[in-house]
């Protein structure tokens, strides 16, 4: 870890992600000389390549604006690089490197042939007009197109990038290359997208949570759930929880959280989806639409008593103290919808309290899994039916759960899902790398 820190100065998120994996891998490879001798972990923690580029665009007043864009291609040992694109002012190389590193393990866990990558720009979509967003997406793709391809690297959405942005980027890719291929996922249904891709991450996280509870002979009926975020992952996680009979009492954004003790309903969730996706409003306005709910400015929802918690907003949004509050209030299970939302101290609190704790690379893999299914449909030039896809998503999440149990079951039957996910993902990618020799 000293070497990782030295080679990646000023990249705290990346070092944190590697540390969390290394804690488990050191133990696993202790008596396995090949992984050691071939420096497999060190090689996975060194991206294959990072492309960094200038993105120029004109705002509506005619001012020239300059942003920085990246694509981190972390590892393609088991398939083409695959992972989302994030547009947010906090995006930098450290954040994208951690996300691409995590993605490598996550994609391996799905059982589908996908390597790990991630990209994005320090562009803030908030307050921008649709035309500004379109010009930015086109300019971003004007550089990115030469680094991606259906068998090379297949980006998708992430924070700040949804179906609208994917449409603008796909249109620009097609215009430049004249190729209609499955180069992006999360596309609209009219031009090669897959049914249930928008729902898949949130639904998958709830399926994984249900799998963990089932091991303890429990289910979601009547459970109180606390969720952070109010975007794609959070709203679809809420929807599936409500369908499974849970009472979801919070949602949040970067300004604070709403507490609705009566619980969300499908009508309320539909309102939030429209509010965030079309009106582009703040979650604070929920309390005007649904009196009985309260808004808590500048706070996170982790102090609200619950049985299960799903952090679905962003990295490091749940600290060691937050984890202690959740445990003290009786929370028995946590499923990470976001990537690395719990910091290292928080992970240690959950592990020592023996809380059922599913790391993002396992719990939120349903999104990229259905992206993988979108790639298969594009290759076949066919569209599969919703019922088939729903079943495949459930089966994939159950498979990930089994892999975590296989490598994570420890003393007294406690399943360390972090260890299980890290070791299972590492083994699959590492074994492929061993087969290739030193490359």
Ligand X SMILES: O=C(O)CCC(=O)C(=O)O
Ligand Y SMILES: NC(=O)C1=CN([C@@H]2O[C@H](COP(=O)(O)OP(=O)(O)OC[C@H]3O[C@@H](n4cnc5c(N)ncnc54)[C@H](O)[C@@H]3O)[C@@H](O)[C@H]2O)C=CC1
CB 392 within 8 A of CB 218: no
Total binding residues for ligand X by CB under 6 A? 13
Binding site residue list for substrate: 82, 103, 106, 157, 371
**Smallest separation, CB 319 to ligand Y (Å):** 13
In the numeric block, which tokens belong to residue 52?
């960094």
Beta bridge partners of 247: 224
Tokens 């937050």 sit on residue: 322
Beta-sheet strand order (sheet of 294-297): 250-253, 256-259, 294-297
Full strand arrangement of the beta sheet holding 81-87: 49-58, 64-75, 116-121, 81-87, 153-156
Selected catalytic residue, list 118, 128, 187, 273: 118
CA distance 387 to 201: 17
Q: For residues 7 and 20, what is the distance between their CA atoms, to the nearest angstrom? A: 17
- How many angstroms separate the CA atoms of 196 and 435, rounded? 35
Is 276 part of the annotated catalytic residue set? no
- Annotated binding residues for NAD(+), written as ranges, equal 201, 232
The residues in 395-414 that bind ligand X, with binding defined as CB under 6 A, are none
**Stretch in the footprint of ligand X (CB under 6 A) among 29-37, 241-249, 365-373, 420-428:** 365-373
SS3 for 150?
Answer: coil
Q: Does 116 bind ligand X (CB under 6 A)?
A: no
Instruction: Rule CB under 6 A: say whether 94 interacts with ligand X.
Output: no
Can you point out the beta strands (E) in 174-290? Answer: 224-228, 247-248, 250-253, 256-259
The length of the chain in residues reads: 439
Closest approach of Cβ 375 to ligand X, in Å?
A: 9
Q: Shortest gap between Cβ of 70 and ligand X (angstroms)?
A: 14
> CA 307 → CA 23, 228, 269, distances in Å?
28, 15, 20
Residue 29 or 187: which CB sits closer to ligand Y?
187
Interacting partner of 338 out of ligand X, ligand Y, none (Cβ under 5 to 8 A depending on kind): ligand Y
> Counting contacts by CB under 6 A, is residue 371 touching ligand X?
yes
* Of 55, 179, 183, nearest in space to 120 by CA: 55
Residue from the set 13, 158, 199, 239 that interacts with ligand X by CB under 6 A? 158
Binding footprint of ligand Y on the chain (CB under 6 A): 157-160, 201, 229-234, 252-254, 312-314, 317, 337-339, 364, 367
Of 83 and 346, the one with the shorter C-beta distance to ligand X is: 83
Residue 269 CB, nearest distance to ligand X (Å)? 21
Residue 67 near which of ligand X, ligand Y, none (CB within 5-8 Å, type-dependent): none
Distance of CA 237 to the CA centre of its chain: 13
Tell me the closest approach of the beta carbon of residue 259 to ligand X, in angstroms.
Answer: 28
Q: Does 82 bind ligand X (CB under 6 A)?
A: yes
Between 57 and 207, CB nearer to ligand X: 207
Nearest alpha carbon to residue 109 among 228, 208, 28, 236: 208
Summarize as ranges the residues that interact with ligand X (CB under 6 A): 82-84, 103, 106, 156, 158, 185, 339, 364, 367-368, 371
The residues annotated with a catalytic role in the active site are 118
């Amino acid at each position: 870890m000293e070497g990782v820190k030295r080679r990646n100065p000023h990249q705290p998120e990346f070092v944190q992600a590697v540390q969390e994996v290394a804690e488990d891998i050191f133990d696993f490879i202790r008596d396995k000389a090949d992984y050691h001798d071939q420096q497999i972990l060190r090689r996975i923690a060194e991206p294959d390549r990072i492309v960094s580029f200038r993105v120029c665009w004109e705002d509506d007043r005619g001012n020239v604006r300059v942003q920085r864009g990246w694509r981190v291609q972390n590892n393609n040992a088991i398939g083409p690089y695959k992972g989302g694109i994030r547009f947010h002012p906090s995006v930098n190389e450290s954040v994208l490197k951690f996300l691409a590193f995590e993605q490598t393990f996550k994609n391996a866990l799905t059982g589908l042939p996908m390597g790990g990558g991630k990209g994005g720009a320090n562009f803030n979509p908030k307050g921008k007009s649709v035309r500004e967003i379109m010009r930015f997406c086109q300019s971003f793709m004007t550089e990115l197109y030469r680094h991606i391809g259906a068998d090379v690297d297949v980006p998708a959405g992430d924070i700040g990038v949804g179906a609208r942005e994917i449409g603008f980027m796909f249109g620009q890719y097609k215009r430049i290359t004249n190729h209609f291929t499955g180069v992006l996922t999360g596309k609209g249904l009219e031009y090669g997208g897959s049914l249930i891709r928008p729902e898949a991450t949130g639904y998958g996280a709830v399926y994984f949570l249900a799998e963990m509870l089932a091991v303890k002979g429990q289910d979601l009926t009547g459970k109180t759930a606390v969720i952070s975020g109010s975007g794609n992952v959070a709203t679809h996680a809420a929807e599936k929880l409500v369908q499974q009979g849970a009472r979801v009492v919070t949602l949040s954004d970067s300004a604070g959280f709403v507490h609705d003790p009566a619980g969300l309903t499908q009508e309320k969730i539909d309102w939030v989806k429209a509010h965030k996706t079309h009106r582009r409003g703040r979650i604070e306005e929920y309390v005007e639409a649904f009196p009985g709910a309260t808004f808590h400015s500048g706070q996170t929802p982790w102090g609200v008593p619950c049985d299960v918690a799903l952090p679905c907003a962003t990295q490091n949004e749940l600290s060691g103290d937050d984890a202690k509050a959740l445990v003290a209030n009786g929370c028995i299970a946590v499923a990470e919808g976001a990537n690395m939302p719990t910091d290292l101290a928080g992970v240690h609190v959950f592990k020592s309290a023996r809380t059922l704790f599913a790391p993002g690379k396992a719990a939120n893999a349903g999104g990229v899994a259905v992206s993988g299914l979108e790639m298969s449909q594009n290759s076949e030039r066919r569209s599969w039916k919703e019922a088939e896809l729903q079943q495949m998503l459930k089966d994939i999440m159950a498979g990930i759960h089994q892999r975590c149990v296989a490598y994570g079951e420890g003393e007294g039957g406690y399943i360390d899902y972090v260890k299980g996910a890290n070791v299972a993902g590492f083994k699959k990618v590492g074994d492929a790398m061993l087969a290739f020799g030193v490359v």
